[in-house]
């Protein structure tokens, strides 16, 4: 998967959500908020129109000095009831937009709201229709509301059945009250007709609840991967997806990267096989590395549906691309602090004979890691390659010998782009030089209208020194080192990530970006991630 996903900390499922709809995915439950807000808004609009017209006409009559007709006075109670429904709906809308109220509690409030709305609709409709028309209506909006609610709230069928029965009973209850108050003479046939309508609506509501809730359960079951349950999709790219996940027994969250067989269905068999093999190679490569600055791999497996997945640590922070986009170029001492940590990861990869081949700002992730701030994790080894594969004639090397360019054009070494010579860690050193350029200037080394034009620039054009592209002061030694990393000839670059780390420390005092400065930056710019 080439597209990197910034794994910002999503809100974890609350304990309160493990109630009525505990078996549904958290993100599906969260959709209830938008649905409830929309429902409340529609009810507000529907019930506010008549009172506005009614009281508006009364106000106009008063201002004109005309007496208010007696029938208007007798109808005031109906429109006061409408205003009450508007107030209750506005309260529900306000509660639904608050993240402090769990989805399970919102579900309970929504079901209670259904019952209240049905009672008001039944009482108002029956009473007013009798007073105006002298007869009771054959049908009210109560059955429609009862049928509609299961489509909005994914409650368990038994819970929805109980709520639907209570809501449907509001119409016979309204008839009973109107008859007891002496407002409407109600016949037995009216009770029977009302009860039949409500019973039919309850039946449809129960069937709808079974279908909707069943679909949600199927989604939840489809998201079970081994000991992990997928809770929220964080992003996708190409044929891969990244999900937030929970272990069934452990509280520690994780990120799962997976490639679904269904997404390979339309691809040629060879391409599908290569994609799966490349995915396996990425997991195996990460598993070999022990640097604290390489993203940790927890697990790897094959799901029941044939999807491959691996489980990695879920990081709290942002990548270097987002860092510069949001906050601008970083001071030279901070850039050195971040780059040296990336060098630590790549140095170990070199010692294992691996070339990352896709180093870019989106794959340099900054996070809070325990007590440390600005802790770097190198991500996405999706096109990692052994530096000696071709020399050994390794058939697995065919996975990375496609006609398409492997890597990101804005951060690709000339020899990688042109496919000339043996690739080794110096290609990653070139890419780190491009990342350093981005961190220091907020600009790419080269720009072009197309990916091919970008590749040509990296292969032939002479880069402008970073100091010429920014108003910030860049130490001459660091300026020269970045240009050395960007040399077209690999022999003219720092030869290893370890050497680059040493020269970075010589270019800028590594102690000038301290833990105190890093913590102060995070507290100021990303306080929501305080732990």
Together in a domain, 437 and 490: yes
Average pLDDT score over residue span 105-130: 88
Together in a domain, 285 and 418: no
pLDDT at 440: 95
Which H/E stretch holds residue 92? helix 70-96
pLDDT at 262 over 60: no
pLDDT at 220: 57
What are the backbone dihedrals phi and psi of residue 223, each rounded to the nearest 5 degrees, phi first? -95, 10
**Given 284, 314, 344, which residue is the final one in a domain?**
314
Together in a domain, 186 and 278: no
Which ranges of 153-187 does DSSP label H, i.e. alpha helix? 157-168, 170-180
| Secondary structure class of 272 (helix, strand, coil) | helix
Together in a domain, 275 and 343: no
Give 506's pLDDT tier (boundaries 50, 70, 90).
very high
Tokens 């970045």 identify what position?
Answer: 482
Can 319 be counted among the known catalytic residues?
Answer: no
Report the C-alpha gap between 332 and 472 in whole angstroms.
Answer: 9
Together in a domain, 208 and 336: no
Provide, rounded to the nearest whole percent, the portion of the chain with pLDDT above 90: 31
- Residue 334: give its domain's CATH number: 1.10.510.10
Task: Assess contact for 531 and 385: CB atoms under 8 A.
Answer: no
Structure token digits, residue 530: 């305080």
Report the C-alpha gap between 236 and 233 in whole angstroms.
Answer: 8
Together in a domain, 470 and 340: yes
Please indicate whether residue 357 or residue 248 has the higher confidence score (pLDDT): 357
Together in a domain, 279 and 374: no
- Residue 260: give its domain's CATH number: 3.30.200.20
Report the C-alpha gap between 479 and 470 in whole angstroms.
Answer: 12
Choosing from 17, 358, 380, 428, the catalytic residue is: 358
Task: Assess contact for 32 and 154: CB atoms under 8 A.
Answer: yes
Task: Assess contact for 377 and 367: CB atoms under 8 A.
Answer: yes
Report the C-alpha gap between 353 and 395 in whole angstroms.
Answer: 16
Residue 477 CB-density burial (10 A; 0-12 exposed, 13-18 middle, 19+ buried): middle
Report the C-alpha gap between 170 and 110 in whole angstroms.
Answer: 16
Together in a domain, 456 and 387: yes
Spatial CA neighbour of 83 closest among 129, 38, 55, 51: 51
Which H/E stretch holds residue 231? strand 228-237
pLDDT at 467: 93
Together in a domain, 336 and 275: no
What are the backbone dihedrals phi and psi of residue 185, each rounded to the nearest 5 degrees, phi first? -75, 120
> Could you tell me the residue range of the domain that residue 452 belongs to?
318-529
Together in a domain, 292 and 431: no
How many domains are contained in the chain? 3
Spatial CA neighbour of 40 closest among 120, 94, 106: 94
Spatial CA neighbour of 440 closest among 405, 478, 403, 410: 478
Together in a domain, 375 and 502: yes
What's the per-residue H, E or C state across 367-429?
Answer: EEECCEEEEEEECCCCCCEECCHHHHCCHHHHHHCCCCCCCCHHHCCHHHHHCCCCCCHHHHH
Query: pLDDT tens across 2-54, in order?
Result: 333 333 333 344 444 444 455 555 556 667 778 888 888 988 998 898 888 88
Look at 403-412, 433-442, 459-468, 474-483 and tell me which has the smallest mean pLDDT: 403-412
Tokens 């509280």 identify what position?
Answer: 251
pLDDT at 150: 86
Report the C-alpha gap between 191 and 173 in whole angstroms.
Answer: 9
Task: Assess contact for 275 and 264: CB atoms under 8 A.
Answer: yes
Residues ≥6 apart with Cβ < 8 Å to 504: 336, 339, 340, 343, 478, 481, 510
**Given 205, 222, 239, which residue is the final one in a domain?**
222
Tally DSSP H helices, then E strands, for the chain: 17, 11
Task: Assess contact for 244 and 231: CB atoms under 8 A.
Answer: yes
Adjacent-strand bridge partners of 247: 228
Which H/E stretch holds residue 245? strand 240-247
Together in a domain, 273 and 214: no
pTM of the complete model? 0.59
**Given 251, 281, 314, which residue is the final one in a domain?**
314
């Amino acid at each position: 998967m080439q597209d990197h996903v910034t794994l910002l900390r999503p809100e974890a499922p609350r304990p309160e959500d493990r109630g009525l709809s505990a078996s549904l995915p958290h993100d599906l439950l969260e959709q209830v908020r938008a649905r409830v807000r929309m429902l409340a808004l529609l009810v507000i609009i529907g019930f506010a129109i008549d009172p506005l017209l009614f009281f508006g006409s009364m106000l106009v009559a008063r201002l004109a000095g005309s007496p208010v007709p007696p029938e208007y006075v007798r109808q005031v109670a109906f429109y006061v009831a409408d205003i009450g429904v508007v107030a209750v709906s506005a309260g529900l809308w306000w509660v639904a937009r608050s993240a402090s109220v769990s989805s399970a509690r919102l579900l309970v409030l929504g079901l209670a709201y259904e019952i209240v709305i049905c009672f008001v609709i039944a009482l108002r409709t029956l009473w007013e229709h009798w007073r105006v028309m002298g007869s009771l209506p054959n049908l009210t909006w109560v059955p429609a509301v009862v049928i509609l609610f299961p489509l909005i709230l994914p409650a368990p069928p038994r819970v929805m059945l109980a709520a639907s029965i209570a809501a449907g009973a509001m119409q016979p209850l309204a008839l009973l009250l109107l008859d007891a108050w002496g407002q409407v003479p109600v016949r037995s046939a009216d009770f029977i007709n009302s009860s039949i309508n409500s019973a039919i609506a309850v039946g449809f509501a129960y069937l709808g609840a079974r279908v909707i809730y069943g679909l949600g359960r199927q989604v939840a079951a489809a998201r079970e991967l081994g000991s992990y349950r997928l809770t929220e999709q964080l992003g996708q790219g190409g044929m891969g997806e990244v999900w937030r996940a929970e272990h069934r027994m452990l509280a520690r969250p994780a990120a799962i990267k997976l490639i679904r067989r269904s997404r390979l269905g339309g691809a040629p068999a060879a391409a599908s096989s290569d994609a799966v093999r490349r995915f396996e190679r990425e997991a195996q490569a990460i598993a070999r590395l022990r640097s604290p600055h390489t993203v940790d791999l927890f697990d790897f497996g094959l799901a029941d549906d044939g999807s491959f997945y691996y489980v990695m640590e879920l990081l709290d922070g942002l990548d270097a691309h987002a860092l510069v986009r949001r906050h601008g170029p970083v001071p030279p001492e901070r850039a050195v602090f971040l780059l040296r940590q990336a060098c630590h990861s790549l140095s170990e990869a070199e010692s294992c004979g691996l070339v990352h081949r896709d180093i870019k700002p989106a794959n340099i992730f900054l996070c809070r890691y325990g007590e440390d701030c600005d802790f770097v994790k190198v991500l996405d080894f999706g096109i990692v390659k052994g530096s000696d594969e071709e020399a050994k004639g390794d058939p697995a090397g065919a996975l990375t010998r496609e006609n398409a360019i492997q890597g990101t054009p804005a951060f690709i070494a000339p020899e990688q782009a042109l496919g000339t010579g043996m690739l080794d860690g110096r290609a990653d050193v070139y890419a780190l030089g491009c990342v350093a350029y981005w961190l220091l200037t907020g600009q790419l080394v080269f720009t072009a209208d197309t990916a091919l034009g970008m590749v040509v620039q990296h292969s032939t054009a002479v880069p402008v020194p970073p100091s010429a592209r920014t108003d910030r002061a860049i130490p001459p030694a660091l300026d020269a080192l970045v240009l050395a990393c960007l040399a077209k000839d690999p022999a003219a670059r720092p030869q290893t990530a370890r050497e680059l780390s040493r020269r970075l420390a010589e270019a800028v005092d590594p102690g000038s970006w301290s833990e105190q400065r890093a913590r102060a930056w995070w507290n100021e710019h990303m306080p929501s991630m305080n732990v």
